[in-house]
A and B are shown apart, each in its own frame.
Chain A
């Protein structure tokens, strides 16, 4: 068992660009469920809109990268409007079912053989990351983090990712402290009261859905940029519920919750994964318990039960305020 590698890799992953991408996706979810009380179960759909919204114009139509990022944001806003229009006036479980269905529609369409020329099919959309590769200041150098070696490109995307986390994290922090954020919290606590103050609840909910969706789309862009490929399988329901676990772990309706949550979540997951990987490779554990074929599932099992147990036993997470915890307020 190479403990140095196990630890250094887990720490690396906890601060990697994937963790940054998940932090962004979780910040988006936090705007929806934490501050506004909107049950968005389709955050993966927003992330996919972000990833493919950028990858397709760049790789297939040869747009400039600024235009491509614009298109990615445009598609996230469009998706929010499409999902919000029929459901925001209804009870919250309708939004949940419609968003999860929409996210699956997007993923299945992206995987379709029919549209492979456009979306890359099951192999994913590649060939869009030239502008990132060209602007990478670290080149092909490799950097050593204890036993973990990191290449220049990954380091570059990681830095961009965490800068974006800082930008959107503080944006959400300041917006939620202002009057706009207070209206959202008011909607979460008591819609009718907010309506009696003359605010248009549906309009505010829609703005919240758009803001959180766009942040999720930025997370999707980072996720795709790191692999230089938009992979349809990554934008499944698991992504949404990992983000849920992250935001509940860190603390709903707190600005730092999703960020700290992402770091801790990925550290634990990667640590367990590494220990099992080494244990199975060195045959420390008998193969009927866990083996090279199935150790990878353990992290999903852990994440799932962690989500359930957190909601039951510590719904406020690490930083949350139990009184502000949104699910039990109604």
Chain B
């Protein structure tokens, strides 16, 4: 009993410590405050703009104003109010007679050649005008690139993007698979480990002005340390209390939820970027384009995956990990200290997840729920490859990453549905081969 109480006390102390680390990072974050001014007795106004948004050759996002586009404003379910033409700044403005719902629509015939209304911009769009206030409607046009290029010419690029995504998923998935193999825990907080890596690097890099590569290195060490801290502070005491895997899984979900919203609390909901490697010229490789940044991201992931595989296959520690994964009791009887091995797994898994987060942040920007959004793909990859098999996780990542981008290529009009493809393939594979691609059948049982 004393032992349990002691373990409980230590667990709390360690949780508090983990909190402290998070809060230290937190205090360097910042929150932009939005101020709105309200003005009395104004008429009801609809303002808006039409913008052309595209990426230039350097991959930088450019927004330009589009003058001369006709905008039609109608009362919802009623009569037309007015037609406006956007001015030199691409903007339009009108007073409307009453508060209420209005339909704002771009006349597609007036969109300049070479541009088209992008799918994410809704037109006609219903906007609500509140009494004495103004409502805003901004429309985005994009360069009409699909006309010139045939679908098949886009395929290599889709495959390339798929491999890039797969590389990032893979190095995040290895840690999850190793932890599952050695402890049986499906760690839902793994996504937050990924986000932690990205935000640690971002805080050091942007808020504290440390050069990016040094911040990335420190962030990796920090993430690994937090990961081991969680093992020693939460998971090991829970194992000692003989908690079931289900309760450990639910604890990991609770921690994930709490920590994820701590990230949003501290850093807000916006995307941010590191201060380095932001704008880069695209290099033309014939069938596909890539920035040097992307190539580095892929190279690092591939090299790390190979190194970790070699480590697992050919070193003493790697063999010890596989022994603990196969049969913990037998491993212990041969003199392997399984607690030490499990701590090692969390260390390596955490470091890899941290690197994965940093690289994913480099690729798409740093955001509070980036790890959580990646987590479902990581789980899909790990389950697909065979739960608990690190090589299976790498293979599964390749399938998931490529499938996600191929889905987007197949259905260019519905790219927001592309993660669905990954989840569908997961469900289908579970139907026909529940143990996953490389899993042994008895594990599915």
Contacts of A87 in B (CB 8 A): 430
Contacts of A311 in B (CB 8 A): 247, 250-251, 254
Q: Give the tally of cross-chain contacts (CB within 8 A).
A: 163
CA distance A292 to B242 in the complex (A): 43
Report the stretch among B45-53, B61-69, B217-225, B410-418 that lies at the interface. B410-418
Interface status of B183 (Cβ within 8 A of chain A): no
Q: Contact flags (1/0) for B242-257 with A, using CB distance below 8 Å?
A: 1111110111111111
Asked whether A114 and B250 contact (CB < 8 A) given A90-B444, A294-B264, the answer is: no
Q: Contact flags (1/0) for B356-388 with A, using CB distance below 8 Å?
A: 000000000000000000001001100100010
A92, A94, A111, A114: which contacts B434 (Cβ < 8 A)?
A: A94
- Closest A residue to B261 by beta carbon equals A300
Report the count of interface residues on B (CB-CB < 8 A): 56
**Contact in complex: B255, A305 (CB < 8 Å):** yes
B122, B238, B419, B445: which contacts A104 (Cβ < 8 A)?
A: B419
Interface status of B311 (Cβ within 8 A of chain A): no
**Contact in complex: A327, B416 (CB < 8 Å):** no
B268 CB to closest chain A CB (Å) equals 7
**Contact in complex: B246, A327 (CB < 8 Å):** yes
Contacts of B383 in A (CB 8 A): 94, 97
**Contact in complex: A108, B420 (CB < 8 Å):** yes
**Contact in complex: A305, B254 (CB < 8 Å):** yes
Q: Contact flags (1/0) for A293-316 with B, using CB distance below 8 Å?
A: 110011011111111111111010
Report the count of interface residues on A (CB-CB < 8 A): 59
A100, A114, A306, A310: which contacts B417 (Cβ < 8 A)?
A: A114
B269 CB to closest chain A CB (Å) equals 9
CA distance A163 to B186 in the complex (A): 38
Contacts of A298 in B (CB 8 A): 261, 265
**Contact in complex: A303, B417 (CB < 8 Å):** no
**Contact in complex: B251, A292 (CB < 8 Å):** no
**Contact in complex: B122, A113 (CB < 8 Å):** yes
Contacts of B249 in A (CB 8 A): 39, 93, 96
Contacts of B253 in A (CB 8 A): 41, 241, 244, 307-308
B359 CB to closest chain A CB (Å) equals 23
**Contact in complex: B387, A93 (CB < 8 Å):** yes
Contacts of A160 in B (CB 8 A): none
Interface status of B170 (Cβ within 8 A of chain A): no
A80 CB to closest chain B CB (Å) equals 14
Residues of A within 8 A of B (CB): 39, 41, 86-87, 90-94, 96-98, 100-102, 104-105, 108-109, 111-114, 116, 121, 123, 238, 241, 244-245, 248, 287, 290-294, 297-298, 300-313, 315, 326-330
Show 18 residue pairs from A and B whose CB-CB distance is below 8 angstroms, ordered by the A residue.
A97-B383, A101-B380, A105-B420, A112-B417, A113-B414, A116-B122, A121-B122, A287-B33, A291-B33, A293-B31, A297-B262, A301-B265, A303-B258, A304-B257, A304-B258, A304-B260, A307-B250, A327-B250
Residues of B within 8 A of A (CB): 8, 11, 31-34, 119-120, 122, 126, 186, 238, 242-247, 249-262, 264-266, 268, 376, 379-380, 383, 387, 413-414, 416-417, 419-420, 423-424, 426-427, 430-431, 434, 444-445
The 8 A-B pairs of least Cβ separation, nearest first, read A304-B258, A304-B257, A308-B254, A307-B254, A300-B261, A101-B423, A327-B247, A297-B265
